Structure 1
């Protein structure tokens, strides 16, 4: 799993039936402190994330391990919204 920051929404009128109706978000990868700088990804949102939130992303075959995405053409899913990150007994990110 990796960290990402929600940058926006992705809308597609022509999409595979397996993911039709699923909310897709534009996510930029970031570090554990929420500092962006990585690639952009399109991810299926499983948790109701919003713009600017730091999220946990699963990719690859792990993205198809949920009830919603099982055997669907999905490579990236948002599986959590980060509230806090503690590193070496110090809070480095807090929502």
Structure 2
């Protein structure tokens, strides 16, 4: 699992039947700031992920990849390898909050 920020969406009018009605987002993985440890920084990579939780653009989300992306009831029949499985409210390292939704 990893953290990512939703940076955009994908529209595909032609797709396999199993993907009809699925929301696709562009997500950018995040990592803890290596210098300060005080915030989350983008990695510069991007993935396309299927949304399973009703997330929205700009939110920080929890992502799974590979076969784990197909372990939910909603995704077990989909041809995917990346899924959003949670919307992050808070990230803490020790006593410090390095991310809080809405800040």
TM-score with structure 2 setting the length: 0.86
User: How much is the aligned-residue C-alpha RMSD, in angstroms?
Assistant: 1.1
The separation in 2 between residues aligned to 1:76 and 1:3, in whole angstroms, is 12
From 74, 79, 99, give the equivalent of 1:73: 79
Structure 2 spans left out of the alignment, 5+ residues: 33-38
How many residue pairs get aligned? The number is 95
Pairwise CA distance, 1:38: 3.2
SS of the residue corresponding to residue 61 of structure 1 reads helix
Kept after mapping to 2: 8 A contact 1:4/1:34: no
Displaced runs of 4 or more, over 3 A:
none
Decide which structure has the larger Cα Rg and report it. Answer: 2
Structure 1 spans left out of the alignment, 5+ residues: none
Kept after mapping to 2: 8 A contact 1:46/1:77: yes
Pairwise CA distance, 1:71: 2.8
SS of the residue corresponding to residue 5 of structure 2 reads strand
Aligned to 2:26: 26
TM-score with structure 1 setting the length: 0.93
